[in-house]
Amino acid sequence: MRLLPREEKFFDLFVAVAERNTEAARHLRELFDAPPERRKPHVEAIKRLEHEADQVTHEVVNRLDRTFITPLDREDIHKLASDLDDVMDTMDGTARRSQIFGLGPAPEGVKLLAEVIQRMVRVLAEAVGRLKKGDDVMRFCVEAKGLEEEGDAIYHDALGRMFATERDALEVIKWKEIYDNLERTLDEAEDVANVLESITLKHA
């Protein structure tokens, strides 16, 4: 019997952020599927979720400061919390840019990338939910990395098509910024998969 039990609350906090990321990814996809005049509620929903995720991430950091025995290495806890939060931040940044830029209907490539992000974030939430028991986490990490590669191919193909067909330079600038942010979201999500993989191997 442990005289000083491990603080297990961290797993619940990770799940709380991952669930908010999943909801934000759904709103991000619906934002780009919606006509421009109906996007604002999705932008506001993502901002609310970003604020909630920030609060949970701060709780992870605060709890880390006052916990003697942690269930994972301290640097891994901090890294996972930070990477999950980064995914949310990039989605929020993309949503806000869509509003600032006053974008018209989304190109097909943007919709496809948003759909891949939604699937990837959902896969990561599944992995995070299984982390406490170490149950098949690696399978979901591998799936997430495959989705990042799928998204990367869509990103490059869509950019090439846009540069070849779009004659309005301002539209190119606006949508390239959106494409870059969506691709960055996939990169941030892959970072989550990498840290989950590292934690799983360390505790195998």
Task: Please give the residue range of the domain that contains residue 133.
Answer: 9-202
Residue 99 has pLDDT above 60, yes or no: yes
DSSP state of 67: -
Asked whether residue 107 carries a pLDDT value surpassing 50, the answer given is yes
Residue 139 lies in a domain: yes
| Average pLDDT estimate for 157-174 | 97
Domain count, the chain: 1
Specify if 4 maps to a domain: no
pLDDT at residue 2, rounded to an integer: 46
Instruction: Kindly tell me if the per-residue pLDDT of 1 is higher than 70.
Output: no
Share of the chain above pLDDT 70, in %: 98
- Quick: pLDDT tens for 4-29: 557 789 999 999 999 999 999 999 99
Residue 167 burial (C-beta neighbours within 10 Å; 0-12, 13-18, 19+): exposed
Sign of CA dihedral 27, 29, 33, 37: positive
The overall pTM is greater than 0.85: yes
Give the per-residue pLDDT at 204: 74
Name residues whose C-beta falls within 8 Å of residue 174's C-beta, 6 or more positions apart in sequence.
101, 103
Question: pLDDT, tens digit, for every residue of 108-133?
Answer: 999 999 999 999 999 999 999 999 99
Q: Which of these, 124, 120, 143, lies nearest to 15 by C-alpha position? A: 124
Work out the average pLDDT over 86-98.
Answer: 98
pLDDT reading at 42 higher than 70:
yes
Is there a domain that residue 14 lies in?
A: yes
Read off the pLDDT of residues 172-190 as tens digits, 9 standing for 90 and up: 999 999 999 999 999 999 9
Task: Please report whether residue 3 resides in a domain.
Answer: no
Q: Is residue 32 part of a domain?
A: yes
What local confidence, expressed as pLDDT, does residue 102 receive? 95
Q: Reply yes or no on whether the pLDDT at 3 is more than 70.
A: no
Instruction: Tell me the CATH number at 23.
Output: 1.20.58.220
